[in-house]
Amino acid sequence: MTFPGFSGADFDAYQPQKWQSRVFNLERLQVKQKLSQLGRTFAPEMLASDGSLLELELSNESPALWNQHKVECQYLFFSRNAAARAELDGINSRGRSMASLIEDPSPLRQHVFLGVRIDCDQVEIGLKLHSNAAVDRENLVRKLADHNQRERLAARLAELPAGFTIGLTGHDEVSVAGIDGAALTQLAADLGEADSWLSVHTTFSRDDAQLAEAQFAERVAELMRALLPVMHEIAWSRDNDCLSMSETLRENKAKKKQKGLQKNDRVRVLAGLFAGKVGVVQSIDPKGGLKVMLGSMPVKLSSDEVQKV
């Protein structure tokens, strides 16, 4: 099915008196389905800087623990794929309490993303970066410390279509056309001190007639395409590594595969010809391959085939 446009009832599904009630789940589900239809019209164009597809996801329409038991709005969002997220999530979650991780397990607060948001008043199209997205946030801070990169990001923002603003949620916003490097640097610094969002967005009031038309999907696609280069400038990647973090990730990946095993550890073989035998680790490679001495016999095994004793 193609995106049919938004109706007045779609906005009414997010009236404050409905936020905490499951009675209105069906209303919100119908809006969620429209957002899905909208997103799929341009999803193939939503690419990360390495050419991989950004992952299309939708926020939950039902009040639950992870949305503080209220649904104020509905999100369609595009962020790095699951494998790329997993690589960074361990770093992003450092310093966050278990309660905060349970309350919001979605990638929205952990990774920069592009999104379409609908509430009772408007539709918003934009880029969002939460203060908890530590890797992307710190990458932005380091980028802005370099004059040339700072000016390039300011130029990218200035190229956005008319109507886009930038600011921290709940604070004053300014037009992206007038933002300079110094102001960007201050915004990034302020984000690190706040539990808030850096937002680059434009909005359409619910009364805007174009929202009711199927052709609104083309307008959204145009705006999302315009935001992609800004996302590429902010999102950490191996080609946009202002943190010099690639080596750290390689080491973390190797440690994960090695499962904490070290040279001279005693291990028991779990399966195969030598099941039950106990030996000593002689060496271990970055991919988790082991050389284990079983008595006087060297045997090659993987870290999955042994258990530390």
Count of C-beta atoms within a 10 Å radius of residue 217: 19
pLDDT value at position 69? Answer: 93
* Average of per-residue pLDDT values in the chain: 90
pLDDT value at position 95? Answer: 55
Closest C-alpha among 149, 80, 148 to residue 113: 80
CATH of domain 259-308: 2.30.30.30
CATH of domain 8-244: 3.30.930.20
CA 295, CA 202: separation in Å to the nearest integer? Answer: 69
How do residues 62-74 score in pLDDT, each as one tens digit?
A: 999 888 899 999 9
- Say if residues 48 and 62 touch (Cβ distance below 8 Å): no
How do residues 249-276 score in pLDDT, each as one tens digit?
A: 565 555 555 567 888 899 999 988 888 8
CA 67, CA 77: separation in Å to the nearest integer? Answer: 16
For the segment 198-208, the average pLDDT, to the nearest whole number, is: 98
How do residues 109-157 score in pLDDT, each as one tens digit?
A: 999 999 999 999 999 999 999 999 999 999 999 999 999 999 999 999 9
157 or 94, which is more confident? 157
| Stated pTM of the model | 0.78
pLDDT value at position 98? Answer: 45
Domain residue ranges in the chain: 8-244, 259-308
Reading the block at residue 290, the tokens are 């082991």
- In the predicted structure, residue 100 carries a pLDDT above the cut 60: no
